[in-house]
Structure 1
């Protein structure tokens, strides 16, 4: 059984659980973990793989052999990911250039959802610049986005002033000039989560539907116990806990032409339960 998980603690828990369940697990130590996504989604190179939630939704929408194991491998607030070298504020976003690594990047989907829903910004009125494709090759970016010249780097273009704003999470460079475009972004994010009843999630755990069900269920139990120890409460596990954030980001993704069709949370639940031969309550 091949397993890809970015955090060493999660990987160790999964390996131990899979071995106890009677399989011979192997960790594919791919860093950064998102580099495993394309192979997993398109070529089934692993049985269990950490995956950005939007990549999973795209894979399902395009009929790839991928199912959700309801464990959050990475959850975080997102309002702080829109950054600028200018003055904080969103009034000037319309008509300005905003760079994002990929149109289907989960961080970008969340942030654009906030802009459209909470700030009334028509996304087609923004000059969006993307730097690479997503992990599902069938996807095509909207016609109103542009691709940066070959060889360009998002962080370099941003620091050089070629972009007015950038959407960046882990790839955010260290520079004292950088400001969050959303004033007091962390407080805004916490208020958003309080209003919605959940925080955004980035990475989940995905499975190949043909993977050994007994081992997958053992891995689920081990990982769920591990992430529920998160004192910040940003890594929910179980179908009930993931319903809110997954439904929300799926809606954002469809509205932004990241998905070719709507994907419902119940569709994900049914596919997983069918693959593992269990009831919804088993992974609740």
Structure 2
């Protein structure tokens, strides 16, 4: 039987790169890999289903799954995971100096359904003790006005979210009309070192490590989707793709740990991976599959339901088809 041709749209990650180059090939599949920025990939997959397999936002995709009308199935492959206490930006001269100060303030988000914001609001509620209804929420682009919400929301009672179309969140902060912004993408003004904007957690690494040690949550930003019609015709392909992702990740880990030559140009990367990552996360510091990420998945689904991005309560097994819920091991 000839290999079936499939397309995969994904960002250029080191832990996926061997699939892009063809060094790792999913069994039975002739894979064409297309690299784009993640925002373009998400838009084209969510609204046009242009690719057979695609990286996709956890926030967007789980919202669609919860509504029962998703034109795709999800695979428990998590190409992007990022701790998000680094994504809280405040005015340098503003009233927010500690997490408790977020209560009663005006906070902006690029989209309520953005994955990073779901995790950060979950932290606000469950770790910082700031209820969603005790914040005045605003939605606009972080750098440019007019960004639109991609997810269909079912906001909880008492939550006030105002859509702003004429100013960006950054401009609102500088005008004194916003106290903070939660954004996965760093604001342009912050990257340009504008002194008017700072992080709530300057030493975010320390805060994020403490968060992980307290909760066991390693935030998953993106997962992988397969078009439903492709999956229904070739159910076996889902696990074969997952196996290829695992092999590409293993090869990336070997490059990171290589002490013979610096395959990745970051000083002491192998030491940090060996000493820090393994001590915190274990041998597989970037797990795929449900079990290795159950704590994170359960927390994210709880946050999504509490915040109105999910339309019903869900458990991790509700996200993924049976074919990929258990991975073969020797």
Would you call these one fold, judging by a TM-score over 0.5? yes
The CA deviation at 1:262 is: 1.3
**3-state secondary structure, aligned to 2:318:** helix
CA pair 155-235 structure 1, distance change in 2 beyond 3 A: farther
Is this contact kept in 1: 2:137–2:160, CA < 8 A? yes
Is this contact kept in 1: 2:115–2:221, CA < 8 A? yes
Aligned equivalent of 1:226: 248
Aligned equivalent of 1:92: 101
Q: In the aligned structure 2, how far is the partner of 1:73 from the partner of 1:266? A: 19
| Worse-matched range after superposition: 244-253 or 227-236 | 227-236
2:225 pairs with 189, 206, 220, which one?
Answer: 206
Per the normalisation by structure 1, the TM-score is 0.84
CA pair 153-280 structure 1, distance change in 2 beyond 3 A: same
Gaps of 5+ in 1: none
The CA deviation at 1:183 is: 6.6
The CA deviation at 1:260 is: 1.2
The CA deviation at 1:261 is: 0.9
**3-state secondary structure, aligned to 1:204:** strand
Within-5 A mapping of 1:35-114: 35-63=40-68, 64-85=70-91, 86=94, 88-114=97-123
CA pair 199-58 structure 1, distance change in 2 beyond 3 A: same
Is residue 154 of structure 2 the alignment partner of residue 135 of structure 1?
no
Gaps of 5+ in 2: 1-5, 141-146, 257-272
Relative contact order higher in (CA < 8 Å, ≥ 6 apart): 1
Q: In the aligned structure 1, how far is the partner of 2:238 from the partner of 2:25? A: 11
1:39-77 deviations in Å (ceiling 9; x for gaps): 423442222111121212111112213222112111111
Aligned equivalent of 1:217: 239
Is this contact kept in 1: 2:66–2:314, CA < 8 A? yes
Is this contact kept in 2: 1:201–1:245, CA < 8 A? yes
Q: In the aligned structure 2, how far is the partner of 1:41 from the partner of 1:94? A: 34
Q: In the aligned structure 1, how far is the partner of 2:248 from the partner of 2:26? A: 17
Is this contact kept in 1: 2:16–2:248, CA < 8 A? no
Is this contact kept in 1: 2:26–2:244, CA < 8 A? no
Q: In the aligned structure 2, how far is the partner of 1:279 from the partner of 1:17? A: 26
Aligned equivalent of 1:280: 326
The CA deviation at 1:245 is: 0.9
2:170 pairs with 143, 148, 155, which one?
Answer: 155
CA pair 34-282 structure 1, distance change in 2 beyond 3 A: farther
Q: In the aligned structure 1, how far is the partner of 2:61 from the partner of 2:295? A: 16
The CA deviation at 1:23 is: 3.5
1:149-184 deviations in Å (ceiling 9; x for gaps): x24323343344432101122233312443322474
Per the normalisation by structure 2, the TM-score is 0.73
Count of residues paired in the alignment: 276
Is this contact kept in 2: 1:98–1:165, CA < 8 A? yes
The CA deviation at 1:20 is: 5.3
1:3-50 deviations in Å (ceiling 9; x for gaps): 11012545543353786534443334432x123224423442222111
CA pair 221-155 structure 1, distance change in 2 beyond 3 A: farther
CA pair 17-243 structure 1, distance change in 2 beyond 3 A: farther
Within-5 A mapping of 1:260-279: 260-269=311-320, 271=321, 273=322, 276=323
Q: In the aligned structure 2, how far is the partner of 1:259 from the partner of 1:215? A: 28
**3-state secondary structure, aligned to 1:218:** helix
Within-5 A mapping of 1:157-196: 157-173=172-188, 174=191, 175=193, 176-182=195-201, 184-196=203-215
Larger Rg: 2
